Amino acid sequence: MGIKVSALILPERQAVEVELTAGTVRELVHRLGYSAEDVVVLRDGRPLLEEDRLEDGDNVTILRAASGG
């Protein structure tokens, strides 16, 4: 049985809903095609670790690292 998590990806301001089986931040990041080194995942404004568990209905923000010169 899986869970659904809503994510707002910044800076694109793209809203997505993702179904997860393991329910970890690591799975969410992987499902969206990112690597953990390239993003910070926030829940209630607090950063989460890769091994942190998400709950059904969670709303998170994913901050993608910006690069350039």
Residue 69 inside a domain? The answer is no
Domain annotation covers residue 54: yes
Structural domain tally of the chain?
1
Range of the domain at 51: 3-64
CATH number of domain containing 46: 3.10.20.90
φ/ψ of 62, rounded to 5, equals -115, 115
pLDDT at residue 63, as a whole number: 98
20 lies in some domain: yes
pLDDT digits (tens, 9 = 90+) for 1-39: 699 999 999 999 999 999 999 999 999 999 999 999 999
CA distance 50 to 29: 8
In this predicted structure, which of 6-10, 51-55, 64-68 has the lowest mean pLDDT?
64-68
What is the distance between the alpha carbons of residues 50 and 16, in angstroms, rounded to a whole number?
19
Taking alpha carbons only, the member of 28, 61, 65, 56 closest to residue 43 is 61
Does residue 11 lie within any of the structural domains? yes
pLDDT, average across residues 48-63: 98
pLDDT band at 65 (very low <50, low <70, confident <90, very high): confident
Q: Residue 5: count other Cβ atoms within 10 Å of its Cβ.
A: 24
